[in-house]
Structure 1
Amino acid sequence: MSGTCQSPTDLQLAPAFVRLAPVEAQAFLALDHAVKREGGHLEPRVRELISLAVALTTQCGYCLDVHTRAARRLGVTREELAEVVLVAATVRAGASVGHGLLALRLFEDDELRSSDGNSKN
């Protein structure tokens, strides 16, 4: 494989990356720590299930690695993981349908403009 694929060793570059944009990186890390805090309305286990679902939909390999391990340590079962995968897949598929409806409306809007003689084509 070429050097373009994600690798767990890439995370070793994080300290150097933080030094390249310290203000922004520290703000990001502060947000990350805030949402992982204990004592919020969501239990840590629920936060990890949400994190897993988001990692699946954004297809972030690093996030999947971190949050799958954390979820397992918090007692998430294989069955729950499977359900999260399918919920995330359904939401992502639903978004495609939603965008399909938008595309249909844009198509129809363009068709109406064309029939009015207002099309630039």
Structure 2
Amino acid sequence: MKQYSEPSDKQFTNDIIKGSPKQVEAWLNFDEEIHNVESAIPSKYKELISIAVALTTQCPYCIEVHTNKAVEMGISQQELTETITITAALRSGAAMGYGLLSMKFFKNIDK
């Protein structure tokens, strides 16, 4: 195997659907309810939030889908770049937060 994730992996979607049809349907309905049903958060913001989460979870498929949907909704390049940099700042902050946990373990080891 040369590469773990690539666009052609989408060919396996039907295998997952056939293997767990009820669960996939439930997941798709949940996703539809979150992203496409009108709520207090405008759809454009939902997509920017989704991009940020996809960047932190490092899901290339989610990054593609939500970036494309956000572009269709008219996001600007500046909105996308600010979303990217906010995500980067938060992700690095999480590393520092887990660094505190690592330091706690270090300090509490019996020496």
1:60 aligned residue: 59
Q: Secondary structure at the match of 2:108?
A: helix
* TM-score using structure 2 length: 0.91
Distance, in Å, in 1 between the alignment partners of 2:88 and 2:21 is: 35
Shift of 1:28: 1.3
Distance, in Å, in 2 between the alignment partners of 1:10 and 1:56 is: 19
Larger Rg belongs to: 1
* TM-score using structure 1 length: 0.84
Q: Secondary structure at the match of 2:24?
A: helix
Structural RMSD (CA): 1.5
Gapped regions of structure 1 (runs ≥ 5): 116-121
Distance, in Å, in 2 between the alignment partners of 1:30 and 1:13 is: 20
- Identical-pair percentage: 35
Shift of 1:106: 1.2
List structure 1 segments (4+ residues) > 3 angstroms apart after TM superposition. none
2:60 is aligned with what amino acid?
A: G
Moved more, 64-73 or 5-14: 5-14
The number of equivalent residue pairs is 111
2:18 aligned residue: 19
1:36-115 aligned within 5 A = 36-110=35-109, 114=110
Gapped regions of structure 2 (runs ≥ 5): none
